[in-house]
């Protein structure tokens, strides 16, 4: 409030009172105190509303800017993850391709080596083994020939055991030697009901020191009286 006093030549004193109201970014209000205060309060309310709206807008802008920043960060993270996955997929594909190539190379090498061992191949190179070598006269390990040979050896072993069992059941003990003996004719008549390969089985059994008989070969009728001796013990048959 501004008070202006003015003294006149007379005894009376004139006092003039007026009020000045100032608000930011507004023209000053000058007038009577009551009018000025009313106008000042109105302008203050208007100014406060404007300030609230500005603060809301600024807060909204901040929130939107934060959301945008978060979205951009998420997008960048997704792009990086996608790039990583692409790189990993490429690495996996490259590894799988290299593995396949290595497999084909190994298969090619094995095929070349197998052709060297194949008798019917033009690349066949026979391996000359000595008789003392343990692999002499044996099939290549892991082949079908080896599998068939194992099956055949099991079957022959079974046949030899049956021959020895027949000799034990139908033969007679020689008191001088203590071994069981039987003639070829008797064994032939009994064993032919089981198998017609009695001669081959006897030759193989003699090779394994299971039986003994004279001569290199056995013939029907000619060698019917030839003695066949069982060399195995009673517990072994």
Nearest to 172 by CA among 229, 231, 233, 235: 229
How many whole angstroms from its chain centre is CA 158? 44
Strands 13-21 and 211-212: unpaired
Rounded CA-CA distance 40/23 in Å is 8
Three-state SS annotation for the chain: CEEEEEECCCCCEEEEEEEEECCCCCCCEEECHHHHHHHHHHHHHHHHHHHHHHHHHHHHHHHHHHHHHHHHHHHHHHHHHHHHHHHHHHHHHHHHHHHHHHHHHHHHHHHHHHHHHCCCCCCCCCCCCCCCCCCCCCCCCCCHHHHHHHHHHHHHHHHHHHHHHHHHHHCEECCCCCCEEEEHHHHHHHHCCCCCCHHHHHHHHHHCCCEECCCCCCCCCCCCCCEEEECCCCCCC
Q: For residue 183, what pLDDT is reported?
A: 92
Task: Read off the pTM.
Answer: 0.44
Rg (C-alpha) for the chain, rounded Å, is 60
Q: Where are the domains of the chain?
A: 144-230
Sites in the chain below the pLDDT cut of 70: 1-36, 40, 56-70, 73, 77, 80-95, 119, 194-195, 234-237
Q: For residue 5, what pLDDT is reported?
A: 47
CATH class, domain 144-230, is: mainly alpha
Write 104-107 long-range contacts (CB < 8 A, 24+): none
Tokens 């059941």 belong to which residue?
Answer: 169
């Amino acid at each position: 409030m501004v008070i202006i006093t003015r003294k006149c030549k007379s005894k009376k004193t004139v006092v003039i009172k007026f009020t000045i109201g100032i608000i930011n970014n507004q023209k000053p209000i000058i007038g009577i105190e009551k009018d000025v205060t009313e106008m000042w309060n109105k302008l203050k309310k208007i100014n406060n509303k404007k300030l609230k709206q500005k603060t809301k807008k600024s807060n909204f802008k901040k929130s939107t800017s934060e959301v945008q920043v978060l979205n951009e960060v998420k997008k960048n993270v997704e792009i990086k993850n996608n790039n990583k996955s692409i790189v990993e997929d490429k690495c996996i594909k490259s590894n799988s391709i290299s593995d396949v190539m290595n497999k084909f190379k190994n298969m090619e090498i094995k095929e070349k080596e197998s052709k060297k061992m194949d008798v019917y191949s033009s690349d066949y190179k026979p391996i000359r083994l000595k008789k003392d070598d343990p692999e002499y006269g044996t099939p290549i390990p892991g082949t079908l020939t080896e599998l068939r040979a194992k099956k055949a050896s099991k079957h022959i072993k079974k046949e030899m055991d049956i021959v020895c069992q027949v000799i034990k059941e139908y033969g007679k003990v020689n008191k001088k030697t203590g071994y069981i003996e039987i003639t070829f004719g008797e064994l032939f008549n009994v064993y032919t009901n089981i198998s017609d390969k009695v001669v081959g089985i006897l030759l193989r059994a003699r090779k394994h020191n299971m039986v003994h008989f004279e001569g290199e070969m056995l013939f029907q009728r000619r060698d019917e009286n030839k003695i066949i001796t069982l060399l195995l013990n009673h517990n072994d048959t």
